[in-house]
Amino acid sequence: MKVRLLVTLTLVSFVGLSLAQPPSQTQVPLIFRVAGEAQAFPETAVLKFTVVGEGETLSKAQEQLQQIEQAVFKVLEKFGVRKDQIGTERFAIVPLQPSLSSGIPSPIALRPLGYRVQRGYGVTMPVSVETLDKLLHIADAVLQQGARPTVVTEERYGYYPERMPYTLIEFMVRDPDRLVQQAMDDALSRAKKLAEQATQHIGKVSLKLVRLTVSNIQTFPERRTITPEGRDPIGTFVWQPIRVVVQAEVSFNYE
């Protein structure tokens, strides 16, 4: 399964490199706080949808769900989507509108009027600006067969309650670790240039990296989505690169 570039990248909090012996007691290392950046256009899209069945019994709800599933999978097959591209992401059974079967307001007296069975799917596909139209046609066809956009939990939206609580298409890069490494390399390159400028008055010196510590990693935008209205949770969707910015502290010794 491909690793997704989401806000979970902030779990990477420390990177230590020891390429030289620590500086001597009489020498103060050169320390620079810099930002490094890397960016790449999305290479992968995940079409996220949920199939729902309802009925008086669980078996009837499951039967309705399977009918919609068959229609959705048939459409996906017409578009050339393979079975190994489709993965189940969520399964849930929800009792519908409990009511009192007697006049006693007791939890034992509560019984559901019916049941809802729902299964969430994710279809992973390669994507580029040239294939966006096909991707949107696939999403439209899936919705026309009775599938629904996938509802996401509020926790995933952080402190932005105005964002829509569902998603249909998410975009990501295939190798987020590579993008983070590129941002770290950029931070190191910037710090080295600053160190070279700081030691110009000394003459020819040899710089040795003592430590590189990454204190923060951010992705912009946090994630790119398309909802059924063609909008992301904040505004109109725009095809743009995913950008990673790292904040780093770099120490050099010189001799």
pLDDT for the residue 238: 75
Give the tens place of pLDDT for each residue, 68-103: 999 999 999 999 999 999 999 999 999 987 655 555
Place of tokens 């070279």: 196
Whether the per-residue pLDDT at 105 is higher than 70: the answer is no
Closest to 49 in 3D by CA, of 101, 107, 113, 118:
118
The whole-number average pLDDT for the span 37-53 is 95
Residue found under tokens 């996401």 = 152
Domains, the chain, ordered by start: 7-42+173-254 (3.30.110), 44-172 (3.30.70.2970)
The CA distance from 67 to 58, in Å, is 14
Q: Coil, helix or strand for 220?
A: strand
For residue 167, pLDDT beyond 70: yes
Q: In the structure, what pLDDT confidence band is assigned to residue 1 with cuts at 50, 70 and 90?
A: very low
d(CA 217, CA 5): 12
121, 86 Cβ separation under 8 angstroms: yes
**Res. 208: pLDDT tops 90:** yes
Measured distance CA(134)–CA(231) in Å, rounded: 17
Cα–Cα distance, 251 to 215 (Å, whole number): 14
